[in-house]
Structure 1
């Protein structure tokens, strides 16, 4: 069985706390000193009692400010302050006329704090504790002054105390439920995010395993045949070429994966976009294409930009190669530049088959490819490069009528973190 100390600690651990509301109530506690101060001005005959009330109340408020609930968990000091407040109100009410005393209003502040910190149950306990003290102060005041107390006024004061406690206690309970729901929602969102992350990692590992296994299988098969017939020069040359191609493909795959999953240190310089685009077109055309025409429509006013030349070359090269590979029987590739006040646009348009509408939303996702030998990493890397430069990439395509990739780059470096 738990000890009384453990039960008390458990009860205190259930106390709710909200920084903003606490500060508001603390401010209200200081403002509640105004009625006693006003009473001093209106009732000079109770000056000594009023000054005593103000002095002790100020000390109480200072203690509450120092014993802030979030400092070292010292909310346990709150009942001591509440008891001090009740004692003050009881004494001052008894000395200044009982039901007619303006100091009875000061009781509302500690009662509201009780309801806020300890909810309805704690507030009712505080109100039930204060009620006999208030009745005692009325009896003492009657004995001191000989005046008959106003029973209706006293009853109204007591009922209003319980009403205030119920309202603030219920509000505190609702606040706790809202906070608990918010915490549960955050926990659920964290679990969902973790599940989505694990699912994405699993999917990526599956795709990567598949992409790596294919060239490894090819390498193993051709190496086996080489070992069986090492004297066949023609076969050795053919198989060695295939092994080299597959090894290069595997190297490119791993390089793309590293570029996609880890940040690459950018080497920023002032670059000429037209020179980078020219180089990308030359590199992409290393494989012969039948009747492929490259048209360049460069804006002569296009300025230099601050960028990483190697990264931009890789981004443009990925898109140009993709376009060429989807035009095996020839076509037209148009590279256009256009200058705007704060950015430069680069458009790469082809006359290939276009992108199907159901595929278009997924083309920038890793491992999504519709080419036999594609890895599905080229366009995601391209998007990552452009976004790292503070720009964006957009694609428009009408199925059967080609596709157009538009890059928008800021004229000055604006690299994302």
Structure 2
């Protein structure tokens, strides 16, 4: 063998192969941007107001209940029977109408996997939703194989239900309604949802995303439980992440009539809710008065922030979640940078606006001061 001969490949060497490529849809999807922790600033306590988290830990009874659990070497109940039965009592609905999932996003993905993808001829189904809304929607819809139909919000940050109804075509399979809308804050009223459902074909699944339900104080807000009883195509989407402070345990669920739930159980991810998460959620429901008292405190802080910013001249959309929305346009970047200098992490959405979660009292006061210095 001369020096110009190639070196024989080792029998143990891997065989070269073309690069492994993901599905083409991934190139078209936005990337989910989780809220970042606050920048460390010397002399200031840092506060994370970027993820709509409950700033308080779970109630003491929950921490006591899960502290000594030792059965995590065993798989949990695949369908979360105890939790569904406890939720059924709480909501006054049949346990069979409830399907659990890994957070409300996991529960939503189960709905999309069941009802949206591609039709029998390979064309994508359509999912209609307001935009801007929860930033995971386009990712989940795209991964399901369906196509997003985004309907712009009204100037006040509310859903344009007339335009959403007009956007429904023969290819529409699912509609997503977010109330209160994340990140802008307004709710959908009961009457307008009733009217909207009357304009939607009954074979189209309508998902009412109520992740921030417990923070709502508007008496005109939609009553999802009442409506699902009357509409076989309506799915309620809820979570323990926000009000109950269990975001890290990932507990969500849907409520729908049997014609939907019997199909959702087929696509539901087995063991999505761990035994620790299930126990925490049950105990939290058993001490709901304590949970709601904490929520009342956060709502009071939200109202304090809204009142202070309104007095400063800020024009805020209706705030019914645990966050406020600042419509800053091309000043979004400057505001986010100013917040970093104050050791506050906020959530910037391009040049559309900045969402700021309601946090600890001191965090909220610092945010109010920041807004005063920055100027409306």
Which TM-score bucket, shorter chain as reference? Answer: under 0.3
TM-score w.r.t. length of structure 2: 0.21
Task: For CA contacts below 8 A with separation 6 or more, give which structure has more relative contact order.
Answer: 2
Is the radius of gyration larger for structure 1 or structure 2?
Answer: 1
TM-score w.r.t. length of structure 1: 0.20
